[in-house]
Structure 1
Amino acid sequence: MKTIGFLSFGHWSPSLQSATRSARDTLLQSIELAVAAEELGADGAYFRVHHFAQQLASPFPLLAAVGAKTNRIEIGTGVIDMRYENPFYMVEDAGAADLISNGRLQLGISRGSPEQVIDGWRYFGHVPEEGQSDADMGRRHAEVFLDLLKGEGFARPNPRPMFPNPPGLLRLEPHSEGLRRRIWWGSASNATALWAAQQGMNLQSSTLKADETGEPFHVQQATQIRLFRQAWKEAGHDWEPRVSVSRSIFALMDDRDHAYFGRGDTSDQIGIIDNMRAVFGRSYTAEPDRLITQLKADEAIAEADTLLLTVPNQLGVAYSAHVIEAILKHVAPALGWR
């Protein structure tokens, strides 16, 4: 059995071919898709976060809205770039969104991906400490965020406050009990997967990874997951971690599917991303029977407990829901995922 959700990059463009021609279109359709996915029986609605781009950027208003409109589906990110974040304000936002959704938030965070602008985090008021890189800064922000999520008091109360204080040091509010165990780290390397395990974060592994051995993408990703689970065990945490992988999987069910994805690239690609040699995982595009055979051979999907399906949000809510439904009904049961 697997938890199966969708991952939306939340693009928009003024093109006549796009169903999302504005930020408002994308935000409202993201909520609609989450509602539709829940009705179809999907388990998660996840959204990418990119600054300075015509994509989803500020996740918490969207997560709160999705939480208010749905009842069961998990709501998450994949991922929030911690180089841009004030961990203190983020704790308040995350706590509020989690309470609105009644504890369904699954928050993916990370060092972040390549940016649209040069050192965009500087515009947000963040600068690495002396001798540190921007990646170090992102991990430092994450550590502060994780510590604050414990809900322990740390701030001295004003002796003459506007409103009465509870006794002792004060914490940030609203506090959502249990959210600390529902934080995920988006990792592109084996080393950061090990660090995530040590910190007690679940693991998100996407469709690209540092090319560390030259093996196929899914093999390297499966190794990363096994290393994460071993490091988790060695760290001695008293709860079980979760691991998600994301994939572009399109079942060719009708003429539309063939027109959009019938000639999709079905092999791994090698590229350079942020001065790192990376392997990009293949897309899976085929009729259901062929998809089932292909997906059985994906070692990383087999290792993960959660699968996030990337959706083409600019093709509209109805078509994205069709993509999700095709996997849930015609592929997942034969693989034992349902």
Structure 2
Amino acid sequence: MIDRAPGGSPGENPRPAENHRADTGRRLRRLGFLTLGAFDGDDPSTGLDDGLRLFERAEAQGFDGGWTRTRHLQFGISSPVAFLSAAAQRTSRMTLGTAVLPLGYENPFRLAEDWGTVDVLSRGRVQLGVSVGEPRSYDEIGEHLYGAAADRQDFSYARVEKFLSLVRGEQVSAFEGVEGIERYTGRVQPQSPGLADRVWYGAGSPRSAEWAGSQGLGMLISNVSFAGAPGPIDAERFAASQLEQISAFRAAHPQGDAAPVAKGAVVIPTDTATAEQRGVYEAYAASRRERTSVAHGPRGMMFDRDLVGPSEWIVEQMAANAAMREVDDLILELPFDFGIDEYTQILRDGAEMLAPMLGWSPSV
């Protein structure tokens, strides 16, 4: 499984991106990046602040969106709402997203209050990606989340539907008026019109993709998909799986072929990377290569390959990917354990070299 450009020195003599526009299907509409906000457990502020600095730098590069992924019980962003509240104050244009927020850990009522607040403070810049399902290690953590009600939780799509209804202004209390000196309303506050139209679902199967489409949501696909059974896989099988999901999603969506699909991928352009940085990137991809050759577990969990190399080579790989040709938005997923200098270089080459070859133009 090739996950880097073979041979040569990919960081030498990068050529202008505008000379190498490739036929990659849909024109790339939006460019984003995703940070996990990795930090040292003894010094979390440094890593989290570095993550916020990436939002500032990405906005200056013209990126359209910055995304986070929730990391519970890990040394990463465990509270996207708090992190993106801070990011909202350090940016002015870029959208602020989650890819994804697992709702099994969340109370839809409080979630609607929190994200309504962030959306208001950011002037409508939230792009909220969600998923459902039982939290990992729920037998151990369930009582810490829900106490005696842990065995009565519903982790189905109904959790998303409840959140959407609250964001859209569902009446939750019959009482509206003044009690003493306090004024009450029957809806979750603050209401932020339009937020419900900026909710995405993290799909991993045709069934979940079809459901997301039927709800009129956006669809997020990542470097994980499901084959349905264990066994050998290759890049073509992974792409075919995601293309099936995209087709199911758009067939069920009111917007049809115009329904938005965003793809998250570990894509590391090396055009201006130093020799040392290229070595780090290639070692990282090599350490993960074996897992991309087989579907894991009873559901056949598949992992997409990482793409490490010059932008022109990466675009060629994307052009050969049937699913990638149907994607509107690309989210560059930054690996967990690189430094801010490496992240900055990846973002810079992504905006200046890679994305223009996919038809993208910066917003600044």
- TM-score over 0.5 (shorter chain): yes
**Matched letter for residue 6 of structure 1:** F
Cross-structure match for 2:301 = 278
The residue aligned with 1:161 is: 179
Tell me which of 313, 331, 338 is aligned to 1:315: 338
Structure 1: runs of 5+ lacking an equivalent: 15-20
Please name the residue that 2:5 is paired with.
none
The answer as to 2:88 corresponding to 1:64 is no
Distance (Å, rounded) in 2 between the aligned partners of 1:329 and 1:113: 40
Pair 1:295-2:313 in alignment: no
TM-score normalised by structure 1 residue count: 0.86
**Corresponding residue to 1:10 among 23, 32, 37:** 37
Report 1:1-338 matches (<5 A): 1-13=28-40, 22-111=43-132, 115=136, 118=139, 120-125=141-146, 127-129=150-152, 137-157=155-175, 161-163=179-181, 165=183, 170-212=186-228, 216-233=237-254, 241-253=259-271, 254-263=274-283, 264-265=285-286, 268-272=292-296, 275-312=298-335, 314-338=337-361
For residues 172-224 of structure 1, what are the alpha-carbon distances to aligned partners after superposition, in whole Å with 9 as ceiling and x for unaligned?
11111100010111111111111111222211111011114865212211221
CA contact (8 A) 1:4 1:307 kept: yes
Aligned CA-pair RMSD: 2.6
TM-score, structure 2 normalization: 0.80
Distance change in 2, residues 1:165/1:113 (3 Å): closer
Structure 1 residue 78: deviation in Å? 1.0
The residue aligned with 1:17 is: none
Q: What are the Cα deviations for residues 3-45 of structure 1, in whole angstroms up to 9, with x where unaligned?
A: 111111222236xxxxxx6322232112111011000111111
SS of match in other structure, 1:298: coil
Give, as a single letter, the amino acid of the residue that structure 2 aligns with 1:311. L
Shift of 1:336: 1.9
Q: Is the 8 A contact 2:228 2:299 kept in 1?
A: no
Asked if 1 retains the 8 angstrom alpha-carbon contact of 2:177 and 2:183, the reply is no
SS of the aligned residue for 2:150 comes to coil
Distance in 2 separating the partners of 1:240 and 1:2: 12
**Distance in 1, Cα, partners of 2:256 & 2:327:** 20
SS in structure 2 of the partner of residue 302 of structure 1: helix
- What is the one-letter code of the residue matched to 1:335? L
Q: CA shift at 1:164, angstroms?
A: 5.8
1:117 deviates by: 6.3
State the aligned residue count.
Answer: 321
Sequence identity, in percent?
Answer: 27
Deviation at 1:156, TM superposition (A): 1.7
Q: Distance in 2 between the 1:315 and 1:326 partners?
A: 16
State how far apart, in whole Å, the 2-side matches of 1:82 and 1:52 are.
15
Query: Structure 2: any 5+ residue segments left out of the alignment?
Result: 1-27
